[in-house]
Amino acid sequence: MPCLLLALLLASPRIVLFCLWFFTNMVARTFHGLLFPILGFIFVPLTTIAYVWMYTHHMEIEGINLVIIVVCVVVDLGSGSSTRYRRIRD
CA 65 to chain centre: 14
Asked if 49 and 16 touch (Cβ cutoff 8 Å), the reply is yes
Whether the predicted pLDDT of 11 surpasses 90: no
pLDDT computed for residue 1 by the predictor: 62
Whether 84 shows a pLDDT value over 80: the answer reads no
Least confidently predicted of 6-10, 39-43, 50-54: 6-10
